[in-house]
């Protein structure tokens, strides 16, 4: 069956996805793209190419983190996005704002990592900023007769909160006041209301960010890579692949989906029966797991190094120990599979050094990856004009 392509962010309903999966199980088929793709290996190795990709990342609206990572007033996340240090903070008025994370005195970062504060105070000399970026105070202010505090607030970056996600746009052409809401391609509601942050983590992986991303976007490797983890409970090479705008959704059914065969449509819940992997172009992956959702942002550091930020969110309350334990067991299982993927991707990274291939080949089962490369190529070409 061909890929469902829809530019309005309208994806199959859960029931339609389940029906499509049953058709694939019964016919031993899977969704197929319309073209294969040869991606030059230089595009994974070249510094110039990485710079062009970072320019794309810096010029468009991109998910920074889930809203639940900034649940309370004063909560902040300070980290690099597209190699630019940013701090995103929920203000006293409840509005989330983003700033370039550099003091207006001598450029030191105001914070690093995650925390909660009532003001952002520079660790070097103590210049203090309000949560909406205004420069509030300069210690021994008499030493700075030329500084006009009113014009030396933190430098804002466009920021927008929608459907449980926080988007940023570093493009200086984007008006902070007008915002970026209109720039965001309709994205289906992925995160249900009332989700909260269970935990967040970050890790450095020594691979190109696209090689790493690719491993989440196809089910053709399930049998071979995940022999004793996912393969016994999922299906090899059976995915539903949908496109919306430059984004994709790849559905990985679990064998437990058979339990829905004879359910009335009104009794169909896909929780615990499949994983939806949303690829939000270019560098964000949101995956659904039983009872929880993982938001992953892949930040390229250089051609062969990526920082992965992971946010695990759920609606399950903090006192519901049995269900939280079940989530943690499920996540341990998923982590085993993720380690298997990482080993393979590290090997593919070494494979680049072998110089055996002038290109990597992506077939009809790997159409979400083809879409990633096709759109990235198109965006880079557009930016170069």
Among 56, 103, 135, 277, binds ligand FES (CB under 6 A): 103
Least Cβ distance, residue 154 to ligand FES (angstroms)? 11
Give Cβ neighbours of residue 331 (< 8 Å, ≥ 6 apart).
289, 292, 312
Using CB atoms, what's the residue nearest to Fe ion? 341
Here the tokens at position 233 are: 């409970």
Residue 134 CB, nearest approach to ligand FES (Å): 15
Which residue's CB is nearer to Fe ion, number 44 or number 252?
A: 252
Is 54 or 128 the residue whose CB approaches ligand FES more closely? Answer: 128
**How close are the terminal C-alpha atoms of the chain, in Å?**
37
Residue 125 touches which of ligand FES, Fe ion, none (CB < 5 to 8 A by kind)? ligand FES
Q: How far is CA 90 from CA 40, 66, 72, 178, 306, in A?
A: 42, 12, 7, 19, 27
Task: Please state, in angstroms and as integers, the Cα–Cα distance from residue 122 to each residue in 28, 112, 128, 157, 200, following that order.
Answer: 60, 11, 6, 19, 24
Please, what is the minimum distance in Å from the beta carbon of residue 123 to ligand FES? 8
Residue 42 beta carbon to ligand FES: minimum distance, rounded to whole angstroms: 40
Residue 124 contacts which entry, Fe ion, ligand FES, none (Cβ below 5-8 A, type-dependent): ligand FES
Cβ closer to ligand FES: 153 or 330?
A: 153
Of these, 10, 16, 124, 141, which contacts ligand FES (CB under 6 A)?
124
User: Shortest approach of ligand FES to residue 128 CB, angstroms?
Assistant: 9
The residue among 162, 36, 42, 62 whose CA lies nearest residue 379 is 62
CA distances (Å), origin 300, targets 58, 262, 297, 340? 12, 46, 10, 21
Q: Is 341 in the site for Fe ion (CB under 5 A)?
A: yes
Residue 304 interface partner, choices ligand FES, Fe ion, none, CB cut-off 5-8 Å depending on type: none
Binding mask 104-123 for ligand FES (x = CB under 6 A): -xx-x-------------x-
Interaction residues for Fe ion, span 234-273 (CB under 5 A): none
Whichever of 104 and 210 has its CB closer to ligand FES, that residue is 104
Length of the chain, in residues: 385
Of 87 and 222, CB closest to Fe ion = 222
144 vs 333 by CB, closer to ligand FES: 144
Does 125 bind ligand FES (CB under 6 A)? Our answer is yes
199 vs 187: CA distance, rounded Å: 24
Full DSSP string of 2-38: B-EE-TTS-PPPHHHHHHHHHHHHHHT---B-S--EE
Q: Count CB neighbours of 232 within 10 A.
A: 9
Total residues contacting Fe ion by CB under 5 A comes to 1
Residues in the interface with ligand FES (CB under 6 A) total 9
Between 114 and 341, CB nearer to Fe ion? 341
Distance (Å) of CA 279 to CA 117, 150, 190, 359:
32, 41, 11, 23
What is the maximum alpha-carbon separation in the chain?
79
Binding residues for ligand FES (CB under 6 A):
103, 105-106, 108, 122, 124-127
Give the interface with Fe ion as residue ranges (CB under 5 A).
341
């Amino acid at each position: 069956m061909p890929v469902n392509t829809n530019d309005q962010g309208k994806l199959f309903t859960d029931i339609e996805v389940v029906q499509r999966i049953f058709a694939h199980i019964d016919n031993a088929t899977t969704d197929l793209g319309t073209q294969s793709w040869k991606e030059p290996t230089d595009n994974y190795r070249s510094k110039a190419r990485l710079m062009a990709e970072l320019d794309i990342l810096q010029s468009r609206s991109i998910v920074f983190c889930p809203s639940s990572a900034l649940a309370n007033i004063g909560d902040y996340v300070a980290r690099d996005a597209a190699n630019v240090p940013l701090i995103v903070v929920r203000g006293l008025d409840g509005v989330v704002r983003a700033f370039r994370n550099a003091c207006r005195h001598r450029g030191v970062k105001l914070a690093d990592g995650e925390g909660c504060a009532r003001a952002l105070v520079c660790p070097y000399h103590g210049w203090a900023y309000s949560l909406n970026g205004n420069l509030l105070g300069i210690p021994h202010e008499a030493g700075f007769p030329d500084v006009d505090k009113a014009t030396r607030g933190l430098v804002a970056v466009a920021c927008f909160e929608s459907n449980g996600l926080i988007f940023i746009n570093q493009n200086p052409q984007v008006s902070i006041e007008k915002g970026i809401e209109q720039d965001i391609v309709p994205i289906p509601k992925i995160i249900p209301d009332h989700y909260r942050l269970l935990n967040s983590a970050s890790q450095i992986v020594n691979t190109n960010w696209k090689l790493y991303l690719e491993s989440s976007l196809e089910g053709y490797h399930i049998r071979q890579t995940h022999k004793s983890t996912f393969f016994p409970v999922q299906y090899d090479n059976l995915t539903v692949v949908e496109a919306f705008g430059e984004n994709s959704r790849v559905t990985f059914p679990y064998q437990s989906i058979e339990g829905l065969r004879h359910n009335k449509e009104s009794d169909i819940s896909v929780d615990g029966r499949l994983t939806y992997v949303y690829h939000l172009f270019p560098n964000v992956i949101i995956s659904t797991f039983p009872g929880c959702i993982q938001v992953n942002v892949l930040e390229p550091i250089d051609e062969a190094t990526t920082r992965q930020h992971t946010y695990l969110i759920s609606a399950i309350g903090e006192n519901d120990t049995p269900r939280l334990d079940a989530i943690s067991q499920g996540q341990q299982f998923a982590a085993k599979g993720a380690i298997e993927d990482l080993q393979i991707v590290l090997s593919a990274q070494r494979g680049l050094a072998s110089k055996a291939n002038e290109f990597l080949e992506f077939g009809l089962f790997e159409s979400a990856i083809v879409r990633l490369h096709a759109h990235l190529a198109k965006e880079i070409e557009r930016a170069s004009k």
